[in-house]
Amino acid sequence: KAGVTQTPRYLIKTRGQQVTLSCSPISGHRSVSWYQQTPGQGLQFLFEYFSETQRNKGNFPGRFSGRQFSNSRSEMNVSTLELGDSALYLCASSLTTYRDTQYFGPGTRLTVL
């Protein structure tokens, strides 16, 4: 069974631009969560989608948004990029809900110049 895939793996953008990251969950998984990892703040939860609905949201500004498609694939978008958005963005998928283990993808490393 293929694992969680994320594209692109690396991305370089400049301040003010926007970016879209993609995540394909493990086949059959319906929940997708996104996390931001930085050296200063560690791993922080962004949001979770389940059956195309945002079920939970972390404490991030509205510039961070996401969506989930009917095939459970998810995208997250960051608008008006800031230098502080440079981070590793990790996507995780699980079967359904809170009792299931989350499996992570390899991450997208975003650098904002």
Partner 1 sequence: AQKITQTQPGMFVQEKEAVTLDCTYDTSDPSYGLFWYKQPSSGEMIFLIYQGSYDQQNATEGRYSLNFQKARKSANLVISASQLGDSAMYFCAMREPGAGNKLTFGGGTRVLVKP
Binding site for partner 1 (CB under 8 A): 31, 33, 35, 42-43, 45, 48, 50, 55-56, 58, 88, 90, 92, 94, 97-107, 109
Shortest gap between Cβ of 77 and partner 1 (angstroms)? 20
Write the single-letter amino acid at 35. Answer: Y
Shortest gap between Cβ of 94 and partner 1 (angstroms)? 6
Cβ closer to partner 1: 56 or 77? 56
With a CB cutoff of 8 Å and minimum separation 6, the contacts of 69 are: 52, 75
Shortest gap between Cβ of 25 and partner 1 (angstroms)? 12
103-104 and 74-78 beta bridge pairing: unpaired
Cβ closer to partner 1: 31 or 81? 31
Shortest gap between Cβ of 80 and partner 1 (angstroms)? 25
With a CB cutoff of 8 Å and minimum separation 6, the contacts of 31 are: 25, 48, 49, 50, 55, 93, 94, 95, 96, 97, 100, 102
3-state secondary structure at position 84: helix
Write the single-letter amino acid at 14. Answer: T
Cβ closer to partner 1: 24 or 94? 94
Cβ closer to partner 1: 79 or 88? 88
